[in-house]
């Protein structure tokens, strides 16, 4: 949006200096007026002599002696006050200069710039802190959009390349029609899963939530019911141990995605049995999904929440996602002011625990 340039005007610093100088002049004039009203006016005019014949100054004598010196003193006081007001206003307005400098840098594209105003809390520091917080949110949103675009272009490149190769094979007539259609279906399904996972991750990272009191037990039952056929086909048993009344303040759709991803991850990368447990801990609700499997190191645990990072699969390839499962879970947890804790089990396998705020 183009704005017309403003006409130049006096700076706030100049205005404050002028106001301070005028205030000193008015104060000085008021003092002179009070001196005249309550002192000089009671002294008679003309030459005065005391009883002993000594000279006594008249009103004119006192005025001639007092007024010029008072005006010189007032002029000096105005000059000193003007200089002091100029220096003081410059110091007081320095935070505005920092705000302006930061705003110009941000307008030029430097989103990492911050005011970072030092000193005790006051009106300027409140504005600066609010601006820094706003810039943090803006940068987070911009970074999220950039990550989404980069992740989408990176992950969709593979299925699109595979689709093009399959179409080339189909055009050349190599392979049967049934095999050709099966491969097309598989590639399109993977692309659809990738897009859906990216959209879910983007929504979780943007904290576009619709929180409400959610029954964790019912949510877990729905997830287990959906994934039980795949778990049985892969040779897994799912053991659920949850108290009857366990509720969290959360976006039910995103939480269901997160729980589903945890179970899918256990099926894809684990073996044996999957255990789902939960309970309340103060103002938080803990919900854990554990699976048996190989030994995991700290480097692997930190790698798991990174987008598009996949470990060697031990379980079902069909239930595996596109490398965004635990990234989505971590984003959902942070969006709800909670956290995802990953621990390597001593006997092998993974324990993934969601910590979420309990429903009030």
Q: Do residues 273 and 291 lie in contact, with contact meaning Cβ atoms separated by under 8 Å?
A: yes
Q: Is the pLDDT of residue 323 over 70?
A: no
Check the CA dihedral 264-270-272-276 and report its sign. Answer: negative
Taking only the tens place, the pLDDT of each residue in 218-250 is 999 999 998 888 888 888 888 999 988 889 988
pLDDT at 209: 73
List Cα–Cα distances, 98 to 94, 250, 292, 318, in angstroms.
Answer: 7, 40, 56, 56
pLDDT at 93: 83
pLDDT at 285: 92
* C-alpha span between 226 and 220 (Å, rounded): 10
Q: Is the pLDDT of residue 207 over 70?
A: no
| pLDDT bracket for residue 38 (50, 70, 90) | confident
| pLDDT bracket for residue 170 (50, 70, 90) | low
| Distance in angstroms between the alpha carbons of the first and the last residue of the chain | 45
Residues 194, 198, 199, 204: what is their CA dihedral angle, to the nearest 10 degrees?
140
Q: Do residues 210 and 251 lie in contact, with contact meaning Cβ atoms separated by under 8 Å?
A: yes
- Count of all residues that appear for the chain in the document: 360
pLDDT at 311: 58
Q: What is the pTM of this model?
A: 0.53
| pLDDT bracket for residue 176 (50, 70, 90) | low
pLDDT at 155: 61
pLDDT at 109: 80
pLDDT, mean over the chain: 78
Taking only the tens place, the pLDDT of each residue in 52-106 is 656 666 677 777 777 888 888 888 888 998 898 888 888 888 888 888 888 888 8
| pLDDT bracket for residue 314 (50, 70, 90) | very low
Mean pLDDT computed over 292-297? 80
pLDDT at 167: 64
Mean pLDDT computed over 304-327? 57
Residues forming beta bridges with residue 342, ordered by sequence position: 352
Taking only the tens place, the pLDDT of each residue in 184-205 is 666 666 666 666 666 666 666 6
Q: Is the pLDDT of residue 316 over 60?
A: no
More confident residue, 233 or 161: 233
Q: Do residues 265 and 322 lie in contact, with contact meaning Cβ atoms separated by under 8 Å?
A: no
Q: Do residues 253 and 199 lie in contact, with contact meaning Cβ atoms separated by under 8 Å?
A: no
Q: Is the pLDDT of residue 313 over 50?
A: no
Beta-carbon neighbour count of residue 283 at 10 Å? 8
Taking only the tens place, the pLDDT of each residue in 113-133 is 888 888 888 888 888 888 888
């Amino acid at each position: 949006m183009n704005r017309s340039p403003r006409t130049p005007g006096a700076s706030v610093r100049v205005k404050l200096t002028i106001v301070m100088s005028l205030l000193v002049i008015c104060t000085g004039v008021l003092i002179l007026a009070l001196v005249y009203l309550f002192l000089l006016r009671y002294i008679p005019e003309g030459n005065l002599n005391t009883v002993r014949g000594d000279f006594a100054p008249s009103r004119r004598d006192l005025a001639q002696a007092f007024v010029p010196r008072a005006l010189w003193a007032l002029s000096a006081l105005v000059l000193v006050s003007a200089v002091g007001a100029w220096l003081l206003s410059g110091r007081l307005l320095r935070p505005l200069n920092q705000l302006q400098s930061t705003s110009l840098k941000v307008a030029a594209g430097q989103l990492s710039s911050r005011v970072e105003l030092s000193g005790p809390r006051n009106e300027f520091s409140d504005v600066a802190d609010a601006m820094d917080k706003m810039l943090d949110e803006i940068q987070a949103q911009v970074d999220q959009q950039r990550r989404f675009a980069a992740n989408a272009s990176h992950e969709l490149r593979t299925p699109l390349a595979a689709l093009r190769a399959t179409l080339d094979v189909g055009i050349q007539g190599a392979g049967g029609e049934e095999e050709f259609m099966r491969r097309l279906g598989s590639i399109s399904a993977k692309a659809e899963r990738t897009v859906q996972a990216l959209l879910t991750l983007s929504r979780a990272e943007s904290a576009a939530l619709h929180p409400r009191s959610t029954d964790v037990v019912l949510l877990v039952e729905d997830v287990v019911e959906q994934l039980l056929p795949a778990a049985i086909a892969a040779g897994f048993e799912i053991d659920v141990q949850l108290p009857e009344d366990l509720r969290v303040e959360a976006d039910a759709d995103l939480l269901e995605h997160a729980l589903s991803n945890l179970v899918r991850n256990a099926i894809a990368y684990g073996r044996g049995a999957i255990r789902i447990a939960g309970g309340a801990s103060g103002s938080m609700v803990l919900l854990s999904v554990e699976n048996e499997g190989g030994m995991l190191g700290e480097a692997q645990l930190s790698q798991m929440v990174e987008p598009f990072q996949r470990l060697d699969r031990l379980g079902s390839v069909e239930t595996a996602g596109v490398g965004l499962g635990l990234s989505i879970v971590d984003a959902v947890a942070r969006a709800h002011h909670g956290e995802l804790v990953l621990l390597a089990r001593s006997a092998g396998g993974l324990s993934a625990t969601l910590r979420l705020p309990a429903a009030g």
